[in-house]
Amino acid sequence: MCGIHGLVALDEQTQFTQEQLIKMGDATIHRGPDDSGEYVGEGVAIGMRRLSIIDLSGGHQPISNADDSIWLVCNGEIYNFQSLRKDLIEKGYVFKTGSDVEVIIHLYQEYGDECLQHLNGMFAFALWDKTKKRVLIARDRLGIKPLYFSLFNGTFAFSTEAKAILALDGFSARINKTALSQYLELGYVPAPLCLLDGIKKLEVAKYIVIEKGSISQHSYWQPEFTPEQKSDDEWAELIFNQLEKSVKDQMVSDVPIGAFLSGGIDSSAIVALMAKHSDKAVKTYAIGFDTGKAGEFYNELPYAKQVSELFGTDHKEIVVRPDVVSLLPKLLWHMDEPIADSAFITTYLVSKFARQDSTVIISGVGGDEIFAGYRRYQGEKYAEMYHKIPKFLRKGLIAPLAKFLPADRGNKWLNYSRLAKSFIESAELPFSERYHSYMEVFSSDFRASLLKDNGCNNHDVKSLFAKETTEQAVWQMFDIDRQSQLPDDLLMLTDKMTMATSLECRVPFLDHEFVELAAKIPQERLMANGELKHLLKLSLKDTLPDSILFRKKRGFGAPMGAWLKEELSGLMNSLLNKTTVEKRALFNWPIIEQAISAHNASKEDHTDHLSALMNLEIWCQLYLDGRSSEEVTQSIKDAI
């Protein structure tokens, strides 16, 4: 695990120095505190910051083949490297180290760009073929590891984090207005765009080839949604066996390893399987909030404790009352781009806690996507039931009354009211628009009234439905998530927040072989009778108790809605006020003022809207105004 970075000349005149690489690496030192390395060749320069996980003494990067004709930097882990290594040795390849990433070099020698098809892991890498004067840059199939790139001044620059590109001389930070609209739409910026103008993100399962000054981009993987007919018990057995294999494969490490444990199905399943394949107690970590009733709604510590006792883990839990004013600038600097999802705060806090005695952590991220764990996946079933109500009642009575339902996610019943209100407001829409309404933060109309420059409001994630890969609605929704929310929200915040503490995070549910298995399950079996995670629950019935398998789902976020009304009201007012908003000149202040008023009165739940706007303003101060996180924190505290 590390941060990689590099420069590729697009003309024969441009050459690079080691100092340029060091400057890029210094911007991401938190990703690799153990080691650093640089290689500078003819028209190419690649470097890394390393967090040592496998082959602690011999895994230095950049790494080369025997005659130094191929050089590589890689961020991530290759889980099947041992079997690949054995096969390559039998073919006559000689290995210099025990590092997992060395297999990529010899796979490339054997198979060329097709080497990607042989890799099982999470990775972003850059490979320099000195003989062919050719660069291959690739990102893993699910986008677990990020990669940014930019073209400027005759140079192709790339890095694990955007801030390394910003460190280069001649690059200035500006906001991308199209990306801004997408950020408002979704609460994050989906690839290929980045909120920093001139920088892009490499999309999932894609690779770039740079050769003779020419740049080409290619896709190398797409799950095939081909339903197979099996009984539920047959599916359950296949799911359990593949998940067990994924967990076992990802437990390989030369440093201490642990697991996040929320007490939900996904993390509990991971811990159960880790315990099965560990010769000592698994280290587990859980977090709760000390924030009164709002904290109780988000507190999962009792469930985590139940699971830890069941599997005899070395369990540690922490109850926090975080100093969010100090945290937000620091964490948004690490994120590179703003995000509305409060889970980035929780992820950082539990990662910092776990890093005290673990270097690798295993997480249940991805289980909700591939096994239909989100309420929005039930939308089609509920829509079918709802449309059995006479149309005149739906439109003439229910829909008008729904507008008056209160909404507040910090309270159990008000949260149900919020969900019902959201469903009814979208129930008459076509499938693609209805699913989009579940995903969006700011609606198109809201964005239009909010943005001063509404000309940038020209993108809609509904366009992803045009790439239809299956007729099954549930898998259509998954494929949208696979290309957007999963890599650019959940996996991005997971990577950035764990690496902010120099902790490596692995996600067995997103082993691509596991995803390919899940994609064969017919949607009517995946979520039988509308039950979320039906088959996953069935596969774990002999492993986890019913109290864990069938308890109500809760998110991994923080109680931001309640905080904004109470302890964070001063923070919100310091960031979202008439003077600050008008000075930034991006938004119409009266629209924000109305949202704040409605949220405080619990008439509307504007948690995501207000969080998105607050985080954006902090990001602007960090990246556009060029202030340090300490300076931004102090200015906010002075204003409060």
Kindly list the catalytic residues: 2
Which of 285, 269, 274 has its CA nearest to residue 318?
A: 285
Q: Looking at beta carbons, which pairs linking 173-177 to residues 24 or more positions away fall under 8 Å?
A: 173/623, 173/624, 173/626, 174/198, 174/624, 175/586, 175/620, 175/624, 177/453, 177/455, 177/456
CA angle 139, 116, 477 (to 5 degrees): 55
Q: Give SS3 for 384.
A: helix
3-state helix, strand, coil in the chain (%, to 5): 50, 15, 35
- Is the separation of the CB atoms in 288 and 299 below 8 Å? yes
Query: Is the bond leading into 590 cis (omega within 30 degrees of zero)?
Result: no
Q: How far is residue 38's CA from residue 460's CA, in Å, rounded to a whole number? A: 41
DSSP state of 281: P
- Is the separation of the CB atoms in 511 and 246 below 8 Å? yes
Query: Is the bond leading into 192 cis (omega within 30 degrees of zero)?
Result: yes
> Cα torsion for 374, 376, 377, 379, to the nearest 10°?
150
How far from each other are the two terminal CA atoms of the chain, in whole angstroms? 39
User: What is the side-by-side strand order in the sheet with 314-320?
Assistant: 314-320, 283-289, 257-260, 360-362, 504-506
For residue 303, give the H/E element and its range. Answer: helix 301-311
Q: How far is residue 138's CA from residue 122's CA, in Å, rounded to a whole number? A: 11
Q: In the structure encoding, which two tokens stand for residue 526, read together?
A: 């995946």
Please report where in the chains the tokens 């904290």 appear, as a residue. 295
Q: In the structure encoding, which two tokens stand for residue 614, read together?
A: 């607050």
